[in-house]
A and B are shown apart, each in its own frame.
Chain A
Amino acid sequence: MSAGHTNPSTDAEASVPEKTPAPQLTARKRPLLDRIPVISHVRQSVGLQRGMLVGGLVLLTVFVIVAIFAPWIAPYSWAQRSVDGVKFGTQQPPNPLNIWGTTVGGFDVFSRTIWGAQTAILAIICAIAFSIFLGIALGLLSGYFGGWLDRILVVIADAIYSFPSLLLAIVISIVISGGRSTLWSGILSTAIAITVVFVPQYFRVIRADVVRIKAEPFVESARVIGVPTHRILTRHVLRNSLRSIPVIVTLNASEALLTLAGLGFLGFGIDATAAAEWGYDLNRSVADASSGIWWTSIPPGLAIVLVVLGITLVGESLNDLSDPRLRRRRRAGGAA
């Protein structure tokens, strides 16, 4: 029982290398710019696809800039209820003091939305970093050595993969933080929760590639001439199985943010005084919406939408560009 593909696009990708081995052979001769994943994709794309890719990249750039420069952009801190001894008041509509109004807790909506970018980016980076590392390591070892460990890991990965990430994340949050938490324990518990959910995806993709690659003649010849196993693993197998990682990373990044916000919305969030988190703010604004108060929910909600949109546009374009059935070619004659 090998890790099967359910995603039609992954299926198509898996079948690409057999037909077109050329890029791998000539990889070293291509200019540096063409070998960096996202940049090479931009150069490859045309028309609508390029528009989507560039649009997504712009959104992501803005998000990263806001996250890095949050202390300078936000007028107040995320847990500030007053300035110069004057209280903001609760549920105040937008005014010169609080340009996007204040929340039910008396916080400045604009400041919390800006600071929320920082929390979001930290959670995404931690989650992706953990799950890539674990998923690749497990997939590589499991696929290369096989045996009973491989079988057990595949069954566990399949079981976890079929389960909704948010519910699994809830269970793991209970374990790690018992619910409430500070900035770092909150981010870490979310990141670890998301990691457990995502590892099976990386595991399956890497493992499937490794199983295919280890049967290739170049791996066998390396083994015959006595190359040490760790070198075969890292140099011959791993480097050739990382092809589909950028696409999964972008798809997972958006899911990571949605899971973070979902946990926050359900009450597993980070305390309002510890950090700003968009999902928590939306949770507090549900009651506001019923009475027509829009300024507490729209900014954090739109922030989530724009970031996920940016990530998804990039991911979608990368996916289409790596799938020859969906890729549009520069010359009219080659249009699929």
Chain B
Amino acid sequence: MVLAAEEAVTADPLVSAKGSGLWRYIVIRFFLIFPTVIILVTVVFFLTRITGDPITAALGGRLPPDQLAERVHAAGYDRPLIIQYFEYIFGVFFFFIGTAITENQQVSQILLQFGSATLELAIYALIVAFLVGIPFGLLAARLRDRWPDAVLRTGAILMYATPIFFVAILLKLVFAAWLEWLPVAGRASTRTELLLQTLPNPTGIYLIDAIRLGNPDAVGDVLWHAVLPGLALGLLTAGVFLRLVRTNVIGTLGAQYVTSARSRGVGEYRLLTKHAYRPALIPIVTVIGLQVGLLLAGAVLTETSFEWKGIGFHLAQYILARDFVAVQGIVIMIAVIIAVTNFIVDIVAVLIDPRVRY
């Protein structure tokens, strides 16, 4: 994502010169994923090992010293650090990132099992963010410095200023505890959960599973439970989108081609939605790459507040249990997800930028 800005510029003449430029860019950008991931794995690995091996951290004091030493030896944590490091790096590329101490389960299994829940939450949040952020951002840019702009900007700043878990608590207080419209926590009611378990090969994404089940009550129940978590996580991102759309559209509204279009008699609405909006989208697409990181960090907090049993909820559980192998593994897999998303976003940014198209 960082590279996108420059690469796009340097790739520009290349692309127009010969057709293979885009593919070369994609290949180079793809291989840039690896240094990012390796650096992050290295940083996380050595940071978590400075203080000693993870088994002593999790179980020290609860086991007699000889048993502790035995388990440390069995897990291979008494070997030289550099050997463990290379083993770990190789493991990451084969999706082997250690065994959780507290449950004796592969961390990659935990991720596969609960990843779908986090993905579902992230999709709901992104829908909320797009529906709220982009139209209101356009409105704020159009009515710049008038009262709707002031209200919307204050709202956007408020959305950013409110920690996501406080938003969650407020939503819970108002809609679940006082009005009793929506459920307090969880992904579905117990009855629906039991129904969903009868389904063969579940996707883990409850909405899809409920639709496959063909039970309208179950679909309604799943959606009902998704409203508050989706809003809590989505509003945070919506605030960022709103401010971005506003700033960028104000920038493009002042551009000369917009002025010339206005002098040709193009209507204000068309100016906004056609002329100013499209070019303003390019920096927004690039920033969505960064938003994925924010979204995942926010998901950790949202899931904890709503007992939404995804990766983030379990990450918090492992933190409390001092299971640092699991924490380390989850954090590293999130790093991989972010690196891959940034790669995709960079490619999309190049594809939608008309200056690079040929």
Contacts and interface: CB of A to CB of B under 8 A. Distances in A.
B290 A175 contact: no
B277 interface: no
Contacts of B338: 162-164
B166 A282 contact: yes
Nearest to B316: A266
Contact of B185 (A1, A167, A290): A290
Interface in B137-169: 145, 150, 157-158, 160-163, 165-166, 168-169
Contacts of B157: 309, 312-313, 316
B169 A304 contact: no
Contacts of A266: 300-301, 304, 316, 319
B254 interface: yes
A15 to B, nearest CB: 13
B293 interface: yes
Interface stretch (A88-96, A97-105, A237-245, A257-265): A257-265
A174 B293 contact: no
B48 A297 contact: no
Given A289-B177, A336-B254, A164 B297 contact: yes
Contact of A308 (B5, B161, B300, B305): B161
Contacts of A48: 145, 150
**From A156, A167, A172, A326, residue with most partner B Cβ within 10 Å:** A167
Interface in A115-138: none
Nearest to B7: A4
Contact of A4 (B5, B176, B247, B294): B5
A171 B57 CA distance: 14
B166 A297 contact: yes
B248 interface: yes
B40 A163 contact: yes
A182 interface: no
A258 B163 CA distance: 6
B6 interface: yes
B251 A8 contact: yes
B339 interface: yes
B35 A162 contact: no
Interface in B1-53: 1-6, 35-36, 39-40, 43-44, 47-48, 50-51
Contact of B327 (A1, A174, A282): A174
B322 A265 contact: no
A305 B155 CA distance: 12
B250 interface: yes
B5 A267 contact: no
A289 B283 CA distance: 39
Contact of B331 (A162, A170, A179, A309): A170
Given A160-B43, A312-B160, A290 B176 contact: yes
Given A162-B338, A267-B319, A290-B184, A282 B169 contact: yes
A162 B2 contact: yes
A156 B319 contact: no
A178 B61 CA distance: 14
B290 A6 contact: yes
Contacts of A289: 169, 172-173, 176-177
What class of interface size applies to chain A in its complex with B?
A: 35 or more
Interface residues of B, number: 69
Contacts of B328: 171
Contact of B161 (A47, A294, A309): A309
B2 A4 contact: yes
Nearest to A56: B157
Interface in A258-305: 258, 261-262, 265-268, 279, 282-283, 285-286, 289-292, 294, 297, 301, 304-305
B324 interface: yes
A333 B122 CA distance: 46
A301 B342 contact: no
Q: Could you say which of B6, B57, B165, B324 has the most chain A C-beta atoms within 10 Å of its C-beta?
A: B165
A325 interface: yes
A279 B301 CA distance: 11
A325 B1 contact: no
A34 interface: no
B296 interface: yes
A301 B164 CA distance: 10
A268 B166 contact: no
30 contacts: A2-B6, A3-B2, A6-B286, A6-B290, A47-B145, A155-B39, A161-B2, A162-B2, A164-B293, A167-B296, A167-B300, A171-B328, A174-B51, A174-B57, A179-B319, A261-B163, A262-B165, A266-B319, A267-B316, A282-B165, A290-B184, A290-B185, A297-B166, A301-B166, A301-B169, A305-B161, A308-B163, A309-B157, A312-B161, A336-B254
Interface of A: 1-6, 8-9, 47-48, 155-156, 158-168, 170-172, 174-175, 178-179, 254, 258, 261-262, 265-268, 279, 282-283, 285-286, 289-292, 294, 297, 301, 304-305, 308-309, 312-313, 316, 325-326, 328, 336
Interface of B: 1-6, 35-36, 39-40, 43-44, 47-48, 50-51, 57, 145, 150, 157-158, 160-163, 165-166, 168-170, 172-173, 176-178, 184-185, 247-248, 250-251, 254, 283, 286-287, 289-290, 293-294, 296-297, 300-301, 304-305, 315-316, 319-320, 322, 324, 327-328, 331, 334-335, 338-339, 342
The 5 closest A-B pairs by CB, nearest first: A164-B297, A301-B166, A308-B161, A292-B177, A159-B39
Given A6-B286, A174-B324, A305-B162, 16 more contacts: A6-B290, A8-B248, A159-B43, A160-B39, A162-B1, A163-B335, A164-B294, A164-B297, A171-B331, A179-B322, A261-B163, A286-B305, A301-B162, A304-B161, A309-B158, A313-B157
